[in-house]
């Protein structure tokens, strides 16, 4: 199993540009989520999904969109990049709901917005 994969690893955007961060998992996990990690702020939840076709907002959803058309994929879209979105982004997936088992994290995408 590849686990949770994320692409790209690094990205530099100009203010106002849009892009999609890709996330895929091959563990048939129902629950997937996106976090951003900033120095001193820990992991903050952006959006999450409990299954294909179902998404919901986390703690810091503004400026980001998600969709979940398949169990495997959970892309994160930045609509109009802003310098405040400079961060490291992690995708995570989790075993079936209600089990509270561990989340598996991807390697992260380092995004810089100039």
Partner 1 sequence: QKEVEQDPGPLSVPEGAIVSLNCTYSNSAFQYFMWYRQYSRKGPELLMYTYSSGNKEDGRFTAQVDKSSKYISLFIRDSQPSDSATYLCAMSGQGGGSYIPTFGRGTSLIVHP
Interface residues toward partner 1, by CB under 8 A:
4, 31, 33, 40-43, 45, 48, 58, 90, 92, 97-98, 100-103, 105-108
Nearer to partner 1, 14 or 40 (CB): 40
State the Cα–Cα distance between residues 85 and 97, nearest whole angstrom.
30
Report the nearest approach of partner 1 to the CB of residue 107 (Å). 5
Work out how close the CB of 16 gets to partner 1 at its nearest, in angstroms, rounded to a whole number.
Answer: 28
Nearest to 39 by CA among 87, 83, 105, 5: 87
Residue 102: both structure tokens together = 């561990």
Determine the Cα–Cα distance for residues 97 and 73; give it in Å rounded to an integer.
17
Q: Which is nearer to partner 1, 1 or 14 (CB)?
A: 1
- Beta carbons within 8 Å of 20's beta carbon, 6+ residues apart: 75, 76, 77, 78
Identity of the residue, 17 or 61, whose beta carbon is nearer to partner 1 in the bound complex:
61
Using alpha carbons, select from 67, 66, 72, 68 the residue that is nearest to residue 36.
66
Q: Which CB, 17 or 51, lies closer to partner 1? A: 51
Minimum distance from CB of 17 to partner 1 (Å)? Answer: 24
């Amino acid at each position: 199993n590849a686990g949770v994969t994320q692409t790209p690893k690094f990205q530099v955007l100009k203010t106002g540009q849009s892009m999609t961060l890709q996330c895929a998992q091959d563990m048939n996990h129902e629950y997937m989520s996106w976090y951003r990690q900033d120095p001193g702020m820990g992991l903050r939840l952006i959006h999450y999904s409990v299954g294909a076709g179902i998404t919901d907002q986390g703690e810091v959803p503004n400026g980001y969109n998600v969709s979940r058309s398949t169990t495997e994929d959970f892309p994160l879209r930045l609509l109009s990049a802003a310098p405040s979105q400079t961060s490291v982004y992690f995708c995570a997936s989790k075993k079936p709901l209600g089990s509270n088992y561990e989340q598996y994290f991807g390697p992260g995408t380092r995004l810089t917005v100039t």
